[in-house]
Amino acid sequence: MNFTASDGVTLEFASVGEGIPVVFIAGYSGHEYSWSAQTDFLSEHGFRCLHLDKRGHGKNADVISGLRISRQAKDIKEMVELLELESYHIISHSMGCGVAFEYISLFGDHDIKSVTFIDSSPKPINTPDWQLGMYGLTWQTITEANTTLASLSLIKKKINTDLLRKMMRGNQVFKFEQTEPLLLDLLTKDYRDVLKQTTIPILFISGELSPLFPTQLTDYYVQTAKHAKSFLAKGSGHLPYAESPDETNQVLLAFLRENGGSEF
């Protein structure tokens, strides 16, 4: 399926299953199929899984205008309005968490049942008063971030072969250089105020061995947000939803059901 965004660009999105809507927002270089384990599982448990690949990513890889976090959030909003969704959950990962934060900042959280953030910091850059950002990221090293990410292994546990095949469907060479403006935009953001003001239920999932973010973020989310809980995926890296899919799926299902999800 597709729709024409307010800036005239055509964007592809996918809808799998029927029931309570769940909007997935993948991380940097991620796409619809990155969430294969969750799409298969949740669509069988009474949820409608919605995937809108970010500009410069997946099915929308050729769209190179609007490479800003605010435009990504606006795209999600326009898809939600197109589908006339009255309420929905959001599940986000890494850069996708920035898009979710931006979405809440711009449009509020009154229509959102819950939001899940997976392995991401509300402020990626480290400063003298904040050391829970991305490892090694400072104002002095920010221009090197894209090169670092392109060469860094993000996983610590082997992904199941069958799942990996599903995740690789429609895969293409990701253009790091082309999408760098989007990454740099994210890395300069500070959403700590949004986290404090958010009133909906929050689930923060962290990879115990994440090569990008410290596990202390699990405590920070719970202590900062009004209604937050956390889950630490043992032995997982930056992709706990793929490295520990069964465990993560059960945590997600319980959280969604607890906060207005399907009872199927």
pLDDT one-digit tens code per residue, 132-189? 999 999 999 999 999 989 889 999 999 999 999 999 986 777 899 999 999 999 999 9
pLDDT recorded at residue 169 = 87
pLDDT recorded at residue 165 = 94
Does 152 fall in a domain? yes
pLDDT recorded at residue 60 = 96
Does 135 fall in a domain? yes
pLDDT recorded at residue 173 = 79
Q: Considering the entire predicted model, what is its pTM?
A: 0.97
Does 218 fall in a domain? yes
pLDDT recorded at residue 261 = 63
Report CA torsion sign: 242, 126, 117, 255: positive
216 exposure class (CB count in 10 Å sphere: 0-12, 13-18, 19+): exposed
Does 173 fall in a domain? yes
Does 193 fall in a domain? yes
pLDDT recorded at residue 206 = 98
Does 228 fall in a domain? yes
Q: Say how many C-beta atoms besides its own lie within 10 A of residue 74's C-beta.
A: 20
Does 54 fall in a domain? yes
pLDDT recorded at residue 170 = 66
Range of the domain at 38: 2-258
pLDDT recorded at residue 264 = 46
pLDDT recorded at residue 172 = 73
Domain count of the chain? 1
Where residue 153 sits, what CATH number does that domain have? Answer: 3.40.50.1820
Query: Are the C-beta atoms of 1 and 53 separated by less than 8 Å?
Result: no
**CA distance to 83, 115, 126, 173, 196, per residue, from 87 (Å):** 11, 12, 35, 35, 22
pLDDT along the chain (264 residues), means of 10: 97 97 97 97 98 96 96 98 97 98 97 98 98 97 92 95 91 87 97 97 98 98 97 98 98 96 55
**CA distance to 73, 84, 114, 149, 192, per residue, from 196 (Å):** 19, 28, 15, 29, 6
Does 264 fall in a domain? no
